[in-house]
Structure 1
Amino acid sequence: METEVTQQTGEKLLRILVFTLTLSVMGATMFNIVLPQISEAFDLTIAQVSWVISAYGLIYAIGTVTYGKLADTYKLKNLLTFGLLLFALGSLIGVASQEFWMMLVGRCIQAVGAAAIPATAMLISVRYFPPERRGSAIGMAAVGLALGGALGPVISALIVSVAHWRWLFCVPLLLLITLPFYRKYLRDEQGHPGKFDWSGGGLLATTITLLLLGITNETWWFVISGLLALVLFIIRIRSAAQPFVQPKLFKNRSYTLGLMIAFLINGVGFSLYFLSPLLLAHVHHLSPDWIGFAMVPAAIASAILGRQGGKLADLKGNAYLFFIASGLLLTCFVLLSTFTGSSPLFIATFLIFGNVGQSFMLIAMSNSISRTLPKEQVGVGMGLFSMLNFIAGSMATGLYSKAVDLGSEFHLNPANIYPNSFIYSNIFFILAILHVGILMVYYFQFGRAKTKSIQAES
């Protein structure tokens, strides 16, 4: 009886969570298309105002794992309340900003608050649903992410067409509507009491910041300093009585292998969100508005099929969903590599395969990794998973940007006949080959003899 009540509560929370994730993703992506207007308003370069995006993402990544760790000790209800209120405060500061520094402060405060949301999404799926139904729950979270990605550029374009870009800060204020529902339905469940390892958390944050700055800006002193901070972090978690991350977490072979596979998959999959707009702009010369609309069908398809992917994982097993997702992604990469210079309508259609495949991948890997963790490590373990997803995307962005800047006068895919799109064709061709390699690693580690056991666990 208690299990049934918990699941009913979980279903209510999931519906609220979809709305929350949709708005939070919109809040993160809506500023992407207004950087030129912000640059003109404050008389700054695009590189300078890009910190509106970069700072948000960096703080978001660090905050995700921090909230995950705090959720192992404190009530999730209180952490989420703090996060949503902070998100609203940052939004109000952004609306009122008259100087760039004030706007950046508002954006950073937004990020500190928003980081509580992905931690909540993962933990609701794990705490309120048994393993056999967890895939469907994670699938619903994927629906919210897809809807936010679809609506973000469109709503942003609509708002900017009738009002000042500062009003984009007002959209996340709608998240306050969800707060009473979270306070009502989230249990007063509290983890094991203990001290929070601020030193360990600080060293991890320093490591991530320096490594990302070093890689994205090609500043090797940052990279070296980041590696030094990583060494100090490892020393800290091995010596502290209550470390930020338990070292035994990384001795869990299934967990660490899952993290490595997920890191590669997210780096490859991020190409769909980063390269596609560039392809449509540089090769097809579409305006930002039309680029946003071209990417909407793929995001809507992901939203519609997201929960179906979760049900497939519950019914057939995570390995089964992984293989379907791989097939969809490979189809997308091969088609994009071959027909990069064809009609934008074809590109929009190809992206449906890729976005749905990437959503299925998120479900399969989230579900698989969550099952490798003991209950007391779920918060920080899934927080690290979310953080690595962001790091993979950030590193991939740097690599893709450099590749596009270099260009190419030859094509790796002999079926491609569009000279003005060789570089995009080559990147997607390489990504297809790389994904075949990832698929083989997954198959030999979790497929073949282990597929039956994974399906049995599911």
Structure 2
Amino acid sequence: MSEPILTKNQKNKLIAVIAVLLTFTVMNGTMFNVAIPDISEEFQLLPSQVAWVMTGYILVFAIGSLMYGKLADQYPIKRLMTIGIILFSTGALIGLFSGSFAMLLAARIIQAMGGATIPALAFIIPARFMPEDRGRVFGIVSSTVAFASGVGPIMGGTIGGTFDWRLLFIFSILAIFTIPLLRKWIPDEETRPGSTDIPGAIFIASAVAFFLISITSFSVIWLTSSLAAFLLFIWRIRTFHTPFVDPAIFKDVRYMAVIATSFLSTSAMFGMIFVVPIMARSVYDLSTIQIGMLLFPGAMTAGLIGQFGGKLTDRHGPEPVLKTALVIAITGSTLIAALIGVPPIVLAMAIVIQYAAFPLIQTSTASLLTTLVPVEKTGVGIGFFNLMNFMSGAISSAVFGAFLDLGSIQFSLLPIAIHSEFALYSTLFTILGLLALSAMMLFTSIFKMKKTPNKVV
């Protein structure tokens, strides 16, 4: 089935509505990231417990991104996004009146159930409706994400610090007003033939959820349950005639290398975004507003770089852009690890460097995947990519939250760290740099071995 042919004006309108929706979604995450210290103090939570404000949200986001990606191969994108935005705004309304940590988590989970449609389908829309412009559009998407992540900390710090963090939910409620534009500008599609493998979806969702719970609880029982669910998922996709995920997708070495590279590098980025606010409060005793200002320059720089990410990818190809981005991520993490304890304005410059890698990683990996996955499998191909990306965020938040519960350690992994008394945070950022280095080594080795494209069939 051929996809609708869009005029330039229609493309611009569609890109605009994607950007607006992404802004709401990303701000929802970054605003609450800055508010984590306040939420922790109000409900008297340990770092590993308050991490579930992000971990729980990202967990459902991760699962939802795969589900919606798969559903997009069968059902119209317009319908899926309409349902998602309604859920997203409903969860925000509940969060606005949350009086307990349990109610807050429930609100975040409902938000994630709906909000997962937005980034998941935002990467599918360019590949489906404007493949000739996908590099440029991926750049705009990445730039929007970076810009919103820059505005988010400022808004979160200003509103959360001046009033109450619950008022941050108001921005997410406003997303409901984009539905008329969404219904008008996203092309109509017919429902494609096919069926949804519900047991397969349940098995993979359970495997992901149980695994993340096992990390935060250090429970062998949950880890065993995750492994059992994953084995059931493997059995299902190998034996069912129309599985939730086509097993052929896992046989493409280049596709899996990009997935793994993105997983490791995104773990480094999400880890930085999670740890910086807690570190800023612990080391510098910064207010919520000041934490937002610490993150703002980096996020805005990433927004500016994202404007050129798509053009660079189209001009030079995604591979060199991705390698450059990983070098930047390694450099930024190492500098932060070395400089913790110096004046915040100096540390902010190091944060700028690591933030700059984010849109380049997103643009290059998404663009590269669309060349490896055939059009008819774009939904599940990018859906699995989004699943692993959001899983990386959830895992990094959970692991580093548990690590921060240690309180302090005696030595830093980085010998050149200036202030040894902050060895805990220095070690964490050194680990983030090692994750990015591992991503670089993996990607370089696989793509050096496999020179010819090998699309999933």
TM-score, length-scaled by structure 2: 0.90
**How far apart are 1:311 and its partner, in Å?**
0.7
Match of 1:340 in 2: 340
In structure 1, stretches of 5+ residues that fail to align are none
Secondary structure of 2:138's aligned partner: helix
Could you tell me how far 1:31 is from its partner in structure 2?
Answer: 3.2
Bigger mean CA deviation after superposition, 327-336 or 287-296: 327-336
- Read off the aligned partner of 2:140 and give its amino acid letter: M
Tell me: higher relative CO, structure 1 or 2? Use CA pairs within 8 A at least 6 residues apart: 2
Give the aligned partner of residue 313 of structure 1.
313
Amino acid at match of 2:389: N
8 Å contact kept, 1:18–1:143: no
Q: 2:76–2:190: 8 Å Cα contact kept in structure 1?
A: yes
Displacement, 1:3? 8.8
Structure 1 residues 290 and 182, CA, compared in 2 at 3 Å: closer, same or farther? same
3-state DSSP of counterpart to 1:5? coil
Alignment of 1:282-361 (within 5 A): 282-361=282-361
- Mean Cα deviation higher: 318-327 or 94-103: 94-103
2:109 aligned partner, one-letter code: C
Which amino acid is the alignment partner of residue 415 of structure 1? I
**8 A contact 1:59–1:111 mirrored in 2:** yes
* Native 8 Å contact 1:9 1:128 kept in 2: no
Q: After superposing the two structures, state which structure 1 stretch, 292-301 or 357-366, moved more.
A: 357-366
The answer to whether the 8 A contact 2:34-2:291 is kept is no
- Report the CA distance between 1:44 and its aligned residue: 6.4
Q: Which digits, 9 at most, give the CA deviation of each residue in 1:159-213, with x for residues without a partner? A: 3355444332221122123222221121112463122111111111111110110
Distance in 1 between residues matched to 2:423 and 2:35, nearest whole Å: 29
Whether 1:119 aligns to 2:120 is yes
2:140 maps to 140
Q: Per-residue CA shift, 1:285-324, capped at 9, x if unaligned?
A: 3222211111000001111110201110000111121122
TM-score, structure 1 normalization:
0.89
Change (3 A) 1:35 1:433: closer
| Rounded Cα–Cα distance in structure 2 between residues aligned with 1:410 and 1:99 | 38
| 1:9 CA displacement | 2.4
Cα distance change on mapping 1:166 and 1:276 into 2, 3 Å: closer
Q: CA deviation at 1:412?
A: 3.9
* 1:72-113 deviations in Å (ceiling 9; x for gaps): 000001111111112222223333455665554433222211
Residue 172 of structure 2 is aligned to residue 209 of structure 1: no
Structure 1 contact 373–381 (Cα < 8 Å) conserved: yes
Measured in 1, the distance between the counterparts of 2:276 and 2:101 equals 29
- Residues 276 and 103 (structure 1), Cα distance of their counterparts in 2 relative to 1, 3 Å cut: closer
8 Å contact kept, 2:161–2:287: no
Cα 1:315/1:189, change in 2 over 3 Å = same
The corresponding residue for 2:108 is 107
1:86 aligns with 2:87: yes
Q: Structure 1 residue 379: deviation in Å?
A: 0.7
Comparing 19-28 with 91-100, greater Cα deviation is found at 91-100
Which residue is equivalent to 2:180? 180
Aligned to 2:379: 379
Query: 1 CA distance for matches of 2:33 and 2:321?
Result: 32
Residue deviations 1:389-438 (CA, integer Å, cap 9, x gap): 11112222333334442633234433333122223333433443453343
Structure 1 residues 246-303: Cα deviation after superposition (integer angstroms, max 9, x where no partner): 1111122221121112112222232321222233223333222211111000001111
The one-letter code matched in structure 2 to 1:166 is: R
Change (3 A) 1:436 1:364: same
Tell me by how many angstroms 1:64 deviates: 1.2
SS at match of 1:283: helix
- Aligned partners of 2:242, 2:21: CA distance in 1, in Å? 32
**Letter of the 2:58 counterpart:** G
RMSD: 2.6
- Residues in 2 aligned to 1:422 and 1:134: alpha-carbon distance in whole angstroms: 43
DSSP-derived class of the 1:74 partner: coil
Match of 1:69 in 2: 70
Letter in 1 for 2:149: G
Aligned AA for 1:63? G
Which 10-residue stretch deviates more, 355-364 or 28-37?
28-37
Structure 2, unaligned runs of 5 or more: none
Distance of 2:181 and 2:29 partners within structure 1: 23
Match of 1:219 in 2: 219
Q: Distance in 2 between matches of 1:101 and 1:425?
A: 32
Which residue type is aligned with residue 85 of structure 2? L
Letter in 2 for 1:296: F
Q: How far does the alpha carbon of each residue in 1:358-393 deviate from its partner, in whole angstroms, 9 at most, with x for none?
A: 221111111112221111211111111111111112
Compute the displacement of 1:448 (Å): 8.9
Distance 2:37 2:393 in 1: 23
Q: Which amino acid aligns with 2:290?
A: W
User: 2: distance between equivalents of 1:430 and 1:53?
Assistant: 20
Question: How far apart, CA to CA, are the structure 1 residues paired with 2:86 and 2:397?
Answer: 31
1:141-290 residue pairs with structure 2 within 5 A? 141-161=141-161, 163-190=163-190, 192-290=192-290
| 8 A Cα contact 1:6 1:128, kept in partner | no
Distance in structure 2 (CA, Å) of the matches to 1:249 and 1:360: 24
Q: What residue is the counterpart of 2:57 in the other structure?
A: 56
Specify the code of the residue in structure 1 equivalent to 2:116: A
AA aligned opposite 1:58: L
SS of residue in 1 equivalent to 2:372? coil
Matched with 1:443 is: 444
Q: What are the within-5 Å matches in structure 2 for residues 31-50 of structure 1?
A: 31-34=32-35, 45=45
Q: Is the 8 A contact 1:319 1:447 kept in 2?
A: no
**8 Å contact from structure 2 (residues 15, 137) kept in 1:** yes
SS at match of 1:19: helix
Separation in 1, partners of 2:419, 2:262: 33
- 1:335–1:350 contact (8 Å) kept in structure 2: yes
Higher mean displacement: 176-185 or 314-323: 176-185
| Percent identical residues | 33
Separation of aligned partners in 2, 1:411 and 1:346: 20
Q: What is the identity, as a one-letter code, of the residue corresponding to 2:139? A: G
Change (3 A) 1:195 1:103: same
Cα distance change of structure 1 residues 330 and 224 upon mapping to structure 2, 3 Å threshold: same
- SS of the residue 1:408 aligns to: coil
How far apart are residue 224 of structure 1 and its match? Answer: 0.4
Task: Give the stretch that moved more between structures: 426-435 or 164-173.
Answer: 426-435
For residues 257 and 69 of structure 1, the distance between their equivalents in structure 2, rounded to whole angstroms, comes to: 21
The amino acid across from 1:80 in the alignment is M
> Which deviates further from its counterpart, 98-107 or 373-382?
98-107
